[in-house]
Structure 1
Amino acid sequence: MTLAALILALVTVQRLGELILSRYNTAKLLARGAIEIAPGHYPLIVATHAAWLIALWAWGRDQDVNFVALSVFILLQVFRLWVLATLGPRWTTRIIVLPDAPMVTSGPYRYLSHPNYAIVVAEIAVLPLALHLYLLALVFTVLNALVLSIRIRAETRALATVRERRP
């Protein structure tokens, strides 16, 4: 197994684990009265991320590794864990709003409205760069930007609605 294949295997396991965690958290939140907002775009997000991983496997599994870019990707995972830890049981890959819960304003949310999306934007570009797949980095950065433009608008509207209902 090449180093690139090992990296891709670890990222694939990580993403699958996150989907399991997300599904668990989503079920718990919905049981507490949360509602899902704008679920129609979710399959597009899943398809984009799945296509990114498939493309990385197809063209990157035997590539040499750029250790500078890989180091940046590893640092991004630290920030990803910070987001997960900050949101705890409220972290999910869907837009789930728990109407009576306070907004999260700690951790990375002190600095950015959507820190997870900033991390994902960087990851989508940096991992292909770590495998010398420059065109793949460009293509999926553009695709991800299009999907995130839909996602962030929907999430911003959902959060604004929650804020308006609060006393």
Structure 2
Amino acid sequence: MGLPLLLLLLPASLQADHWAQHCAYSYFGMTQPRQLSAPEGGSVRIPFSFSYPCNSGKISDVKISWRWKHFHGDFIYNTTPKFIHKNFKDRLVLNWKEGTKNGSLQISNLRREDKGFYFCRVEMITERCHKQKWQSINGTNLTITHEDPSRTRRSNTRTLGITCNNQTPSW
């Protein structure tokens, strides 16, 4: 009695596995720079872009979040529900518009303790593959540089020297 029931269920389970495999092997990608550096007290934008199969069908409920320090690290930012980690309060801005596949996370008033890895994560519902989640594997390693206050700031004015045929123009 158990064998016929198993045979009846087998085609349905194979079909479900085929569907899951198709979505599992589809390309859901994330791109971030491997390394960025910014001065303490300054700000930085960590750019990201993501991709998903063009045959995913209608896309809805896209959520962007960021993790800090390691792949399974603390969440520091979520679009929905809106969340900003207490260490980054009033210092994070997500520059991303719904319907686009790229943006950046801006961190202002950088502190030494902000150094480390940042991982962008995307969640969405696709018509064909249903709920999908993926994030950068390597993340972006942010280093915070220390600006020496004893150095004097230089003016942004530059002298431009142009030569033509090894001669200095006479204007």
TM-score, normalised by the number of residues in structure 2 = 0.28
Structure number with larger C-alpha Rg: 2
Which has the larger share of helix?
A: 1
Higher relative contact order (CA 8 A, sep 6+): 1
Which has the larger share of strand?
A: 2
